[in-house]
Amino acid sequence: MKMDNKEDLTKSFGENAHSYKISNVFSDKEDLDRMINIVGPSESDIALDIATGAGHTAVKLSKRVKEVVAIDVVENMLNQAKLLIKENKIENINLMNMDVHSLGFKDDYFDIATCRFAPHHFYNIEVAIKEVYRVLKKGGKLYILDCSVLNLEEAKATINNIEKLRDPSHVNSYSLEEWQDILKNGGFKVLYAKNLKRQYILPDWFDRMNTPAKNRDKIFNILRGMSENLKRLYSFDERYITTYYVELLAVK
Ligand SMILES: C[S@@+](CC[C@H](N)C(=O)[O-])C[C@H]1O[C@@H](n2cnc3c(N)ncnc32)[C@H](O)[C@@H]1O
């Protein structure tokens, strides 16, 4: 089992919390609208937004459900979420400092759980998914959007290496195939699973994490050393690096 990474998380996100509030990656309207379409929330639902960060997912969801409980382990990120909630004059979001690996809620409580751009930070994905499964009602839905890797050994090693050089709190990005196994092993039925090809825009992607210059250089050396096949799948230049997201909907 991997070690708790709270210290790395607090450093990575605590120092850069504001950039997550203003980032157009996390507030992207198309992504958030598509999430609502996929999840199909109803007015009586109680939702859990896991690793809420600056609160973009929670705010979007709050307009479509009865209540959102939004959790995160980094206090500075919760402070950014508090500001976003205030700016949007929202009153049905309850923010809590909590770790997904140990959720302080009773069994079978939530109708919906959402988790965007965060599972790659979880130090024990099986325990985290088990906890989410426990707190969802039977028939409850789990929506995930996260950075990912293509299901090739070279991609898994190379891309996770790059992600860790950019952000020491990165634990692992899973492929779509690995995600489906994780969810099925955790008791979920996967209803929808898709790879989305995207780009990390530079230098924004580095700047958001204050990645040191020497690590930026190392990342480009690794990219230049990839096989021709991986270079085709993960094209890059000084303005962008290709990435893939996974998007999944699973039901308990
Ligand atoms: C990129 S931000 C999330 C963005 C947000 N979900 C959104 O849609 O805008 C990643 C967040 O995951 C949180 N996080 C990482 N590990 C966590 C854990 N074990 N439990 C709860 N939150 C965690 C971090 O503190 C950080 O705020």
CATH number, domain at 58? 3.40.50.150
- Say what the pLDDT of residue 20 is: 78
With the most atoms of ligand 1 within 8 angstroms of its CB, the residue from 19, 52, 62, 85 to mutate is 52
pLDDT score, position 133: 98
Quick check: is 220 in a domain? no
Locate the ligand 1 atom nearest the alpha carbon of residue 55 and give its number. 9
Residue 156 domain-assigned (yes or no): no
The predicted pLDDT at position 210 comes to 92
- Please tell me the predicted confidence (pLDDT) of residue 11: 83
Question: Which residue, judged by its Cα, is nearest atom 15 of ligand 1?
Answer: 121
Please report whether residue 142 resides in a domain. Answer: yes
60 lines ligand 1 (CB under 6 A): no
74 CB within 6 A, ligand 1: yes
Q: Which pLDDT value is given to residue 16?
A: 77
In a domain, 207, yes or no: no
Average pLDDT, 10 consecutive residues per value, the chain (252 residues): 74 80 86 98 98 97 98 95 96 98 98 98 98 98 98 98 96 98 98 97 94 97 98 98 98 98
In a domain, 139, yes or no: yes
53 lines ligand 1 (CB under 6 A): yes
Domain count, the chain: 1
At 84 the pLDDT is 96
Domain holding 116, by residue range, is 6-149+169-199+244-251
What are the CB-based long-range contacts (under 8 Å, 24+) for 197-204? 197/242, 197/243, 197/244, 198/242, 198/243, 198/244, 198/245, 199/240, 199/241, 199/242, 199/243, 200/240, 200/241, 200/242, 200/243, 201/239, 201/240, 202/238, 202/239, 202/240, 202/241, 204/23
- Nearest residue (CA) to ligand 1, atom 20: 99
Q: How far is the CA of 227 from the centre of ligand 1 (A)?
A: 32
Ligand 1 near 26 CB (within 6 A): yes
* Ligand 1 center–CA 65 separation, angstroms: 21
